[in-house]
Amino acid sequence: MNSVQETVRQILDDIKQQGLSKALEYTEQFDGVRLEPDQVLVDVASLPDPSLNPDQKEAIDFAASQIRQFHQATKPSSTEVDPVPGLHLEERLVPLNRVGIYVPNGQYPLVSSLLMSAIPAQVAGVNDLIAAIAPRSPLESNPLWVYALKVTGIRTVLRLGGAQAIAIMGYGFDGFPPVDLIAGPGNQFVAQAKQELFRQSVVGIDVIAGPSEVLVITGEIDEKQAEVAALDLLAQAEHAPDAHAYFVSWNALAIKTVQNMVAQWTTDHQGILGQIDWITVDSPEEAVRFANQVAPEHLGLIGQDAESLAEGIKTAGALFVGWLAGQALGDYVAGPSHVLPTGGTGRFLGGLSTRTFMRRMSVIATDDDLPEAFLRAGQVLASLEGLKFHEQSLRTRLIRKASQGISQ
C-alpha cells in the first residue's frame, strides 16, 4: 500500500467513525479553512443571482447548451420485447436518485468540470444533485460558481474538498443522506477515495481517473497542423507534473517540426509540465496498434494521413479528428463530457455520459399464455446444476399451470 492509499484509508475510516466533525478537522488541516457545521451545506436557490461579465455568461451558456444538446441526443431509452405470447421483457433504464458531483477548486474555478459532470446527470433524470466544492472562499463571492451551479440544476453545495468530501458524500451525516454515485475529476487523493468507497460497495463512481493523457498521431503535416499538434501536447502536459503526452508519427520531419514548435512555445514558460514522449513508428498501422495498446484519455489525429486512421481507433477515451478538433475544444464546448478513462482503462471503460447516471433493470412479466417449454427447459437446467428448490419452483409452476387446463 502506498502513502496516498494509506492516507486516504485513514481519512475515510476516521470520518466513517466520527462523522462531520472529523471532516471539518481535515478541512482545516488541508485547506486552512475553519467551518462550523451549519456552514457546510449551501442551498443554491438561496444564493443571489450573480452579476457576471457578459462574455463569461455567454460562454457558459454556449457550453451548457452544446453539452445538454449532445447528451439529450445520445440518452438511451428503455426497450420492450415480446418474444412469445405470455412473456413480456424489458430493459428498463432508471435514473439514479441522488448523485454527488466533485468539482476541483484549486487555483482556478473549474466551471467546465461542473458543466461536464452535472449536465449529463441532469439530462439522465437524476432527481437530486449535490456538488462538492472545496471552501477556498465564500461561495457567493464567486459569481462564476454561482451562475454555473444554477445552470446545471445543482440543489445543494457541500463545501468540502479532497478525500473528506468523498467520504461525506459516501457515508452521509445527520440531515445529509449518502449519495448513490460520485462523479467528477479530482486529484490522486480524490480518485483513490472514490475507488476505495466503490471497493467497499459504499457508492458508485463514474470512471477510474488518473493523470491526464493525450496521444497525437500525424503523418505529413503543414505548419498550422504542426503548431496545433504541439499545443495539444502542451495543453495536456500543463495539467500536472504527472500528466503524459505522446507524439506518434512515421514521418521524421513531422516529429522534428513539432518538437521545434514545442520548444518555441515553452521558451518562456515558467510552470511545470508533464512528460512528452516522441514515438517513431514504421507505418500508420503500427501507430494505430500503439494507440490502441496505450488506450489514452485523449487521442488526436491531425493531417490527412492520420485522419484516415479514425476507424481503426478502438480504445481512446475520446477521439479528436482534424486540426480544429483539439482536446481543448472537447474540454469546454464540443458536447461530450471531458470526464474520461485514463491509465489504459479505456480498453474496457467509456467516458461519463447519461448512461453513467442510469441503471439498467430487467423486467420479466408473464401471463397464463407462457409456453410450457420455458418452464421445462429451466427445470432441466436447475436439475443439472443440482439446485433442488430452483427445480421445484419451476416444476410446481408447470403442474399448477396444467391443473388449470392451461397448456401448449
Q: Show which residues are catalytic.
A: 297-298
Q: Each residue of 394-407: b (16+ CB within 10 Å) or e?
A: bbebbeebeeeeee
CA 315-317-318 angle, to 5 degrees, is 110
* Residue 282: partners with Cβ closer than 8 Å, 6 or more residues away: 250
Strands (E) located in 187-317: 204-205, 213-218, 244-249, 275-280, 298-302
The single residue listed with the C-alpha cell 494505430 is 288
Task: Write the CA distances from 296 to 154, 190, 205, 215, 220, integer angstroms.
Answer: 31, 21, 20, 6, 22
Inter-residue contact 190 to 205 (CB < 8 Å): no
Q: Considering only CA atoms, which of 159, 189, 203, 158 is closest in space to residue 16?
A: 203
Evaluate whether 131 touches 213 at the Cβ level (below 8 Å): no
CA distance 158 to 222: 49
CA gap 41, 288 in Å, rounded = 48
For residue 83, give the H/E element and its range: strand 79-84
For CA atoms 48, 51, 52, 57, the dihedral sign is positive
